[in-house]
Amino acid sequence: MNDSEESLGSADGPTVSGETVLITGGAGFIGSHLAEALVEDNEVRVLDNFSGGARENVPDEADLIEGDICDEETVAEAMDGASLVFHEAALVSVEESVENPPASNRINAAATVDLLECARNEDARVVLASSAAIYGHPDEVPVSEGDSKDPASPYGIDKLSLDHYARRYHDLYGLETVPLRYFNVYGPRQNPEYSAVVNVFFQQARDGPLTIEGDGGQTRDFVHVSDVVQANLLAATTDHVGEPFNVGTGETVTIRELAETVVEVTDSDSEITHVDPRPGDIRHSEPDISKAREKLGYEPTVSLEEGLRDLAEIEGLR
């Protein structure tokens, strides 16, 4: 990790210590950053099948278990003796979920139930990665946790199922669970095969042109991975279990503004062009994060421009 990456989301944030921690998907984007934040003061286990993550993302001090989240026996063995679980393993592509709904359901929903059952046997707290996709096309923004949910993809349906199961396991069995509804997470180590718009724009800043689908007026809340780690660590210690929290910055930009900022921070000569809009694209996505602020003590620390400048340096584009 370079100095600029270390400087983001800094040192005075929440801490977790003395736990036996299992991170599913811990070789992936968010999971590996969690492992890095936890490994010094905890016994950390990473469960990953490397379908989207990479071995080099896993800290040397972590115990690496190569296996599939859909294998109940593997999950039970990885969970043995764990006191805290961060469930990040997922099929994260909306497009893949549309092409193969059974696989999405198996990985994102059914495997979560098995994991919760294993955690129930160990009495381990579980912090789970839910998603803004559960809200679908909101009538109004910002959306708060109690607003209506109408997911527009199998991925969103599966994440809503995960979210419900997490809360029901708390209500029915007393299991300490905290589902976190991530909005648009970006930062170092994001899988380039997952076509998140920040990744796409960085690649296009190098090769040109930056291509916007539609008029660019779509709005999104882009949250840096270090702030997502902060939210997870707060969820690991909060008394407010059995309830969900939005995780974003509370601020939005248009896709056009994002493209312009990427061009600026990369000193790119690439033009910005427009193509036909993507069918079914959500027009506005913006979270109300007041609940996370009030109950978790969560406060985003990395501005979009700062995060993009840091990422540009890491990617060798500055």
pLDDT-above-70 percentage for the chain: 95
The answer to whether 291 and 145 are in contact (CB under 8 A) is yes
Distance CA 13, CA 99 (A): 40
Residue 2 pLDDT: 38
Q: What is the pLDDT of residues 41-86, one digit of tens each?
A: 999 999 999 999 999 999 999 999 999 999 999 999 999 999 999 9
Domain total for the chain?
1
Query: Does residue 234 form part of some domain?
Result: yes
Residue 1 pLDDT: 35
Query: Does residue 37 form part of some domain?
Result: yes
pLDDT-above-90 percentage for the chain: 89
Q: What is the CATH number of the domain that holds 132?
A: 3.40.50.720
Residue 6 pLDDT: 45
- Residue 227: both structure tokens together: 């702030």
Residue 187 pLDDT: 95
Full domain range(s) for residue 33: 19-183+224-247
3-state secondary structure 27-71: CCHHHHHHHHHHCCCCEEEEEECCCCCCHHHCCCCCEEEECCCCC
Selection from 109, 192, 112 nearest residue 154 by Cα: 109
Residue 180 amino acid letter: L
Selection from 154, 180, 153 nearest residue 167 by Cα: 180
- Residue 282: both structure tokens together: 């959500």
Distance CA 123, CA 129 (A): 19
Give mean pLDDT, residues 267-293. 94
Query: Does residue 72 form part of some domain?
Result: yes
Cis peptide before 151 (omega within 30 of 0): no
Handedness of CA 190, 274, 138, 151 (dihedral sign): negative
Give mean pLDDT, residues 263-290. 94
> Is 194 marked active-site?
no
Distance CA 293, CA 126 (A): 20
Residue 66 pLDDT: 97
Q: How far is CA 153 from CA 148, 162, 247, 281, in A?
A: 16, 14, 20, 11
Query: Does residue 256 form part of some domain?
Result: no
* Separation of first and last alpha carbons in the chain: 17
Give mean pLDDT, residues 258-282. 94
Q: Looking at the predicted structure, is the pLDDT value of residue 7 above 60?
A: no
Query: Does residue 233 form part of some domain?
Result: yes
The answer to whether 46 and 110 are in contact (CB under 8 A) is no
Query: Does residue 63 form part of some domain?
Result: yes
Query: Does residue 259 form part of some domain?
Result: no
Among candidate residues 155, 165, 169, 186, the one labeled active-site is 155
Query: Does residue 170 form part of some domain?
Result: yes
- Residue 203: both structure tokens together: 């690649």
Q: What is the pLDDT of residues 97-110, one digit of tens each?
A: 999 999 999 999 99
